[in-house]
Amino acid sequence: MCSKREDVYRVVKAFAAKGEWVNPEAKRYTQFLVRDFERNGLNLTLTKREELQRLRTQIDELSMRYIRNLNDDSTFLLFGQMELVGLPPEFLKSLDEAENGKLKVMLRSHHVSPVLELCKVGLTRRLVAVAYGRRCEINLTVLEKLVQLRHKLARLLGYSNYADYVADLRMANSSSKVFEFLEDISVSLTDLASRELAMLKELKKKEEGESNFGVEDLPYYVKRVQEQQFDLDFGVVKQYFPVNLVLSGIFKICQDLFGLRFEEISDAEVWHCDVQLFSVLDLRSSELLGYFYLDMYSRAGKYDHTCVVALQNGSLNNGAKQIPVALLISQCRKEVGGHPELLRFSELVNLFHEFGHVVHHICSHASFARFSGLRLDPDFVEIPAQVMENWCYESVSLKLISGFHQDITKPIKDDICKSLKRWRCSFSALKLKQEILYCLFDQIIHSTENIDIVGLFKHLHPKVMLGLPMLEGSNPASCFLRSAIGYEAACYSRIWSEVFAADIFALKFGGDLSNQYAGLEFRNKVLAPGGTRDPVEILYDFLGREPSIQAFVDSKTGFR
């Protein structure tokens, strides 16, 4: 890898020192190269470079051990039928039976989530929540060691702590700015979260008497209130979203908003008969902008996540343009018995999100592949995809992409559209408070050394969660995978992108979903630059002001 070669580093560093830039993008590209080299320790002595490599090796080994401990955990709890009242018969039938006739509930999300959401027995919910929250207690020492090593690595590279090392590559820029962001969101949602919690406590009091309300009760009573407040049957909702109709609707929305035309290439050479290839052209000039493959349906041996893969980044080299190519992988089930395949609402939202990534990748005009497509600041890259999700909750767009599967001329009903929009924000403040709790925990352990991880969580929990204490006997740090690997010191990033996506949508599209002027401006000012400009500058240029959290807060509190 060139970013680890000292001879290449010295040449690039010497070129950067001359300051002979062809253009601002070339200057930024060179600065990024130097930063990459130096984050790999090329500016350190050989001894310190070797220490850096040892630290990275140890960090990788401990990260894998943390994951392996969780994956290898086969703990289960035993319950009788009466202790699982409220769970559907098909779920109970799926549980293995022990020799004493009791049913095994594995401490895995596909068992735990249904129990916490549906079981009417409070003691069962509590037992499952505590056991799930104390899995792999050995991982506590693994995480403590991981955090220590990460701080050593950061200091070796000249950073005060690991959180600042991570933030240096992101819009947030510093851990102090992340703390400020999380605190602002948390405080802004406190009043609404308090009202939501009071509602849940009142319902529990009616159903279970004077027993204390605990954090383990949240999933069950949120679901109970939602059932009472919304006449929303997602089995019925699904019948309005045949996959082909949804796809044609997404193409139409992207055409009208962003000035793009999608054309299927019928004789394309593909790796499976289900895969489609589309060319993407500018609607006005018919210029070819890029290609994307669509691999919609699940099958044996296929990668089992929904995502977008950048197969080729766009770039410009001596006047020759390299065309961007993307792959959208989804996991829809193939139609059976001649009936059109129907999308669950969650699948619909995922599809819009991933199309946001496709459009972003295709519309990038960066000269350097390094800045093209989805190779962007991690705090910024999810924003366009989050913006696209909004079209799944507005009546005008829902009617465009929907049609009853037995008669596609009949779009989804108005009352369902209204319920979906209200459901989106239902108990959103409490849910965000829980997420902010984990984000703060992640940020603190990676910005402060020698901290008591167990004590920290006990302190943070009631402070963020409106007085609700941490479940006694649980230890979330031992099974908090995001902080252990992949999102360490960056758990905040999902909320960050959602906040600024809400600001964009409210200001530019909230009053007119088909505002082509705003859509083309979004394409040219936000999507096209890729990583060639600082993301904060891109958003300021597009919004005409500093990005704000207010639209996000308003969307959760119903003031939008």
Residue 556 has a pLDDT of: 85
Q: Which tokens hold the place of 81?
A: 């039928």
Is 105:128 a contact under the CB 8 Å cutoff?
Answer: yes
Separation between Cα atoms, residue 215 and residue 374, nearest integer Å: 37
Residue 332's CATH number: 3.40.390.10
Single residue among 373, 391, 413 that ends a domain in this structure: 413
350 within domain boundaries: yes
**210 and 322 in one domain?**
no
CA atoms within 13 A on the CB side of 81: 4
Separation between Cα atoms, residue 109 and residue 129, nearest integer Å: 11
142 within domain boundaries: no
Residue 337 has a pLDDT of: 66
**217 and 83 in one domain?**
no
Is 122:211 a contact under the CB 8 Å cutoff?
Answer: yes
Is 147:165 a contact under the CB 8 Å cutoff?
Answer: no
248-to-71, 262, 295, 402 alpha-carbon distances in Å: 40, 10, 15, 10
**312 and 388 in one domain?**
yes
Residue 240 has a pLDDT of: 96
Write out the chain's pLDDT in tens, 560 residues.
Answer: 677 888 999 999 999 988 887 789 999 999 999 999 999 999 999 999 999 999 999 999 999 999 999 999 999 999 999 999 999 999 999 999 998 899 999 999 999 999 999 999 999 999 999 999 999 999 999 999 999 999 999 999 999 999 999 999 999 999 999 999 999 999 999 999 999 999 999 999 999 988 899 999 999 999 999 988 888 899 999 999 999 999 999 999 999 999 999 999 999 999 999 999 999 999 999 999 999 999 999 999 999 899 999 999 999 887 789 999 999 999 888 876 666 789 999 999 999 999 999 999 999 999 999 999 898 999 999 999 999 999 999 999 999 999 999 999 999 999 999 999 999 999 999 999 999 999 999 999 999 998 999 999 999 999 999 999 999 888 888 988 887 778 999 999 999 999 999 999 999 999 899 999 999 999 999 999 999 999 999 999 999 999 999 999 998 876 43
**215 and 125 in one domain?**
no
Q: Please count the other Cβ atoms lying within 10 Å of the Cβ belonging to residue 185.
A: 24
Residue 317: domain span: 237-413
**514 and 498 in one domain?**
yes
166 within domain boundaries: yes
**187 and 206 in one domain?**
yes
537 within domain boundaries: yes
345 within domain boundaries: yes
Residue 1 has a pLDDT of: 60
**180 and 250 in one domain?**
no
Residue 557 has a pLDDT of: 75
Q: What are phi and psi of 119, to 5 degrees?
A: -70, 130
Q: Which tokens hold the place of 420?
A: 């979906």
Domain total for the chain? 3
Active-site pick, 216, 354, 389, 498: 354
**507 and 370 in one domain?**
no
**518 and 370 in one domain?**
no
Is 366:372 a contact under the CB 8 Å cutoff?
Answer: yes
User: 247 Cβ partners below 8 Å, 6+ apart?
Assistant: 294
Separation between Cα atoms, residue 307 and residue 357, nearest integer Å: 9
**168 and 107 in one domain?**
no
DSSP string covering 84-139, please? GTTS-HHHHHHS-B-TTSPEEEESSHHHHHHHHHH---HHHHHHHHHHHHTS-TTH
Q: Using the 8-state DSSP alphabet, how is residue 479 labeled?
A: G
249 within domain boundaries: yes
Single residue among 361, 390, 413 that ends a domain in this structure: 413
360 within domain boundaries: yes
512 within domain boundaries: yes
Q: Assess whether 354 carries a catalytic annotation.
A: yes
Is 38:157 a contact under the CB 8 Å cutoff?
Answer: yes
Residue 488's CATH number: 1.10.1370.10
User: 91 Cβ partners below 8 Å, 6+ apart?
Assistant: 114, 118
**476 and 447 in one domain?**
yes
User: 328 Cβ partners below 8 Å, 6+ apart?
Assistant: 292, 293, 294, 295, 307, 308, 354, 355, 357, 358
Residue 560 has a pLDDT of: 37
Is 360:373 a contact under the CB 8 Å cutoff?
Answer: yes
**319 and 461 in one domain?**
no
Single residue among 114, 133, 152 that ends a domain in this structure: 133
